[in-house]
Amino acid sequence: MPFIPHTESDTQAMLRDIGVENIEELFDEIPSEFHCLGLKGIPKALTEFQLARLMRERSAKDQIKLSFMGAGAYEHHIPAAVWEIATRGEYYSAYTPYQAEASQGTLQVIYEYQTMIASLTGLDVSNASLYDGASALAEAILMAVRINRKSRSKRVLIPKTVHPFYVDVVGSITRNQGIKIVQLPYDNETGQVSLSALDAYSHEDITAIVIPQTNVFGVLEEVHTITQWAVDHDVLAIALVNPVALGLLKPPGEWGPDGVAIACGEGQPLGIPLSSGGPYFGFLSCREAFVRQLPGRLVGRTTDLEGTQGFTLTLQAREQHIRRSRATSNICTNQGLMVTAATIYMSLLGPRGLRRVAEHCHVKTRDLVSVMNGIDGVDEVFTGKRFHEAVLRLPVSVEAVLNVLSEWGILGGVPLSSWYPELGEALLVCATETKSDDDLKIYGQALRAAIDQVSEA
């Protein structure tokens, strides 16, 4: 019996001790009309060996050679030590560290993680993680609405330069609490939030504004100007940031006159595999004044009764298992193992290593764009400075080109036609530190050939 250790004699001895004849009798409180007769639709068991073969065959089908896809999930090199350590059973199979004395390993890791995220974002306090970047943004918005008592509107400005899936998630999670999303248009030339459109809201009651850095087009926003606008109009500023970019870029805690109130984002670039979109982790940090409005777990440093340093979950009165319907969020399970991996990743990279990764991403994308600019009919859409993504316009159908490329084992980027139809045949490309100069050349040649093939067809 897979994963059930009982021998027949164990089972019989246990039944005797309980005082029943058979296992069925243990279910005698369940009304008989609800007893089901076997499970229909579950295949027969496979041995580990048989399943290994099946899974290898299926995973091999999805293997590609070269990818230039980004849009919220990024390919980075992950040092071997990250997952070698993170999948140790002591991390992998531990529970939430409610029993602090039996969980000092996990608790110290989270404390170290909180320190690193606070420093990367330039803020005071980080929680122990949320599910992913999109749900972290939803929680940041709910938090902002609780904090900003000067505003009554529950209207939140979210630029159209925020990933459309994130906007969708924010809507699903916050809609029933009366939060209204107002979308800000972008400047057609720069690809940044339109500052004149922003100014139009100067005399309206706005609770919070989301500032993406970088935005969905890979373009850097005018973060100082927007943060200043928020301060001037009693609007709470929420930064939505890429943590690898923060190795290079100004942290949100230093935007504008004295930084944003809350920062959040997708933690995946910090050592988490692409893995079809999850598990990733969302990070969330804020100024100390707002710590009691922070959702999710938080680890604090303290001492034990002998004065030894130790770590424990703290300010739990914010959480659902204590405060129930008055909690800051319903979140319970978060993304603990991903946090462990990210903490190991950040430790291995260190301040210099992370900056160099960010620099390489930036430079590789710059070089990719210059390769692409050499192809007839291919142009970069926006003029704004970018980090590690760019929007290209193709002379033919993006969809058709991507199909040709994927037959050659190349994922050419993310098509923007369904999210931003106004951009025409637009393609979002990304090159990280994982791409060599040869990779860029190969992609350049392949794109040229694919465009030719599509235009001839």
Partner 1 sequence: MEPLIFQLGKKGRTAGAHLLEGVGEMELPNNALRDKLPLLPEVSELDVVRHYTRLSQKNFSIDTHFYPLGSCTMKYNPRACNTFAMLAGFRDRHPLAPEMVSQGFMKCMFELQEMLKAVTGMSAVSLTPMAGAQGELAGVTMIRAYHLDHGDDTRTEIIVPDAAHGTNPATAKMCGCSVRELPTQPDGDVDLVALEALVGPKTAGIMLTNPSTLGVFERNIKAIQEIVHGAGGLLYYDGANLNAILGKVLPGDMGFDVIHINLHKTFSTPHGGGGPGSGAVGVGDTLKPYLPVPFIARQGSNYVWEDSSVHSKSIGRLSAFMGNAGVLLRAYVYMRLLGESGMSRVANYATLNANYLMEKLKSVGFDLAFPSRRASHEFVLTLKRQAKESGVTAMDFSKALLDEGFHAPTAYFPLLIPECLLIEPTETESKETLDQFIAAMAKILEETQRDPQAIKDAPVSTPVRRLDEVRAARQLNVRYSYQDHEGLGEIEDPRSL
According to CB under 8 A, which residues from 376 to 405 bind partner 1? 385, 402-403
> For residues 107-121, b (16+ Cβ closer than 10 Å) or e, as one string?
bbbbbbbbebbbbbb
**Nearer of residues 150 and 301 to partner 1, judged by Cβ:** 301
Cα separation, 7 vs 9, whole angstroms:
5
Cα separation, 78 vs 75, whole angstroms:
9
3 is an interface residue for partner 1 by CB under 8 A? yes
Bond preceding residue 328 cis, omega within 30 of 0: no
The answer to whether residues 450 and 401 touch, using CB atoms and an 8 Å cutoff, is yes
Cα separation, 388 vs 218, whole angstroms:
6
Closest distance to partner 1 from the beta carbon of 334 (Å): 4
Residue with tokens 């529970």: 95
The answer to whether residues 370 and 444 touch, using CB atoms and an 8 Å cutoff, is no
284 is an interface residue for partner 1 by CB under 8 A? no
196 is an interface residue for partner 1 by CB under 8 A? no
Give me the amino acid identity at 273: P
Structure tokens at 70: 């980004």
Residue with tokens 């505003």: 151
Closest distance to partner 1 from the beta carbon of 449 (Å): 18
Closest distance to partner 1 from the beta carbon of 342 (Å): 11
289 is an interface residue for partner 1 by CB under 8 A? no
180 is an interface residue for partner 1 by CB under 8 A? no
Site string for partner 1, 413-442 (x = CB under 8 A): -x------------------x---------
Closest distance to partner 1 from the beta carbon of 120 (Å): 5
Closest distance to partner 1 from the beta carbon of 206 (Å): 21
C-alpha torsion sign, points 380, 381, 384, 389: negative
Closest distance to partner 1 from the beta carbon of 443 (Å): 15
The answer to whether residues 155 and 184 touch, using CB atoms and an 8 Å cutoff, is no
Of 8, 57, 376, 422, which lies in the binding site for partner 1, with binding defined by CB under 8 A? 57
Task: From 152-160, 198-206, 278-286, 439-447, give the range in contact with partner 1 by CB under 8 A.
Answer: 278-286
Total residues binding partner 1 (CB under 8 A): 199
Interface of this chain with partner 1, residues 211 to 230, rule: CB under 8 A: 220, 223-224
Interface of this chain with partner 1, residues 312 to 371, rule: CB under 8 A: 312, 314-315, 319-327, 329-340, 343-344, 346-357, 359-360, 362-363, 366
Cα separation, 74 vs 69, whole angstroms:
7
248 is an interface residue for partner 1 by CB under 8 A? yes
Closest distance to partner 1 from the beta carbon of 80 (Å): 9
101 is an interface residue for partner 1 by CB under 8 A? yes
Instruction: Mention every residue, 6+ apart, whose C-beta is less than 8 A from residue 443.
Output: 66, 68, 368, 371, 410, 412
Task: From 52-60, 147-155, 195-203, 390-398, give the range in contact with partner 1 by CB under 8 A.
Answer: 52-60
In degrees and rounded to multiples of 5, residue 255 shows phi and psi of: -80, 145
32 is an interface residue for partner 1 by CB under 8 A? no
Element (H, E) at 167: helix 164-174
Closest distance to partner 1 from the beta carbon of 406 (Å): 5
191 is an interface residue for partner 1 by CB under 8 A? no
